[in-house]
Copies of this chain bind each other. A is one copy, B any other.
């Protein structure tokens, strides 16, 4: 039986434009994407804030998904809104607007009955708020955290403080380089571990992901996708698969970590294939199994055969 996961993050309405289309006021946010992925593997408890304009259909969708929304606060005002545009190769994203709205004065309140939740995911919000969540929890066995360049730049001391309180840091490659101050990703991963988290996972988009832990380094390829329509939410979906996988395993072994990262990779591959949460809402357990196996086969090769080389010393 999987442990429940408490997730704190944004529930948002997103305007997204990519070379392949556009959506307005799509259901999004870090907690939304995380929850919809993680709920495939473990019970999810959501702490977030929405405005009075939060569509009833989105609330109904969360309820139908089995996510417990007992921590979803409705505050006076409008929902958090974000607008972004992706360039030709989908690797560059421009934020067109950010309307904080109800998020501006948000302080996460963990319902009393949820304070013993054993697994916690701190979505990408201000590191001080992430710390406030941990203040309300009683000794979780696994705390994972996501962050972004903005907090590295404007709230570094608060971020460093919360990093000392977590087990698993999930960042993308540019964030890893910026936070560690080194361009070499391998050095960056090790440097981030020395800041607190036992495990550091670096996401590299189309190039996959890497994990750094006491087990050494694990490299996970991305699934080769000919059609990527909208990368929004890929990172949070990845975290949902990873933390969901870890919550469903009693011990955080090296094998569980590797399999969790593979699950995160698989879940993210669904998200990017359609706009918003569309593809993620249509997956089956068999889809997850099939893609996991494709991912495993993708990198297999036979051991080195010494008969191939001329043997002995090749030194000159």
Contact = CB atoms under 8 A, between A and B. Distances in A.
Interface of A: 2, 40-41, 61, 64-65, 88-91, 177, 183-187, 190, 204, 206-208, 210, 217-222, 224-228, 245, 248-249, 255, 258-259, 261-263, 281-285, 288-289, 292-293, 296, 298-306, 308-316
A190 B224 CA distance: 11
A304 B221 contact: no
A30 to B, nearest CB: 19
B306 A255 contact: no
Given A293-B304, A299-B299, A309 B41 contact: yes
A314 B284 contact: yes
6 A-B pairs with the lowest CB-CB distances in the bound complex, closest first: A89-B183, A292-B304, A219-B221, A258-B301, A207-B207, A299-B299
Contact of A184 (B40, B65, B228, B313): B228
Contacts of A210: 224
From A293, A296, A299, A305, name the one whose CB has the most chain B CB atoms within 10 angstroms.
A299
B296 A40 contact: no
A308 B248 contact: yes
Given A204-B207, A288-B304, A314-B285, A299 B248 contact: no
A306 to B, nearest CB: 6
Given A185-B206, A186-B224, A224-B186, A312 B285 contact: yes
16 contacts: A40-B309, A41-B308, A64-B316, A89-B184, A184-B225, A184-B226, A187-B226, A207-B208, A219-B298, A221-B299, A249-B308, A258-B302, A282-B315, A284-B315, A285-B306, A292-B304
A94 to B, nearest CB: 16
A311 B293 CA distance: 16
A301 B89 CA distance: 30
B292 A303 contact: yes
A252 to B, nearest CB: 15
A176 to B, nearest CB: 12
B259 A304 contact: yes
From A207, A220, A298, name the one whose CB has the most chain B CB atoms within 10 angstroms.
A207
Contact of A225 (B186, B190, B225, B299): B186
A196 B222 CA distance: 26
Given A185-B206, A308-B41, A313 B285 contact: yes
Contacts of A217: 224, 298
Contacts of A298: 217-219
Nearest to A257: B301
A263 B307 CA distance: 13
A304 B227 CA distance: 24
A144 to B, nearest CB: 17
B41 A310 contact: yes
A289 B306 CA distance: 7
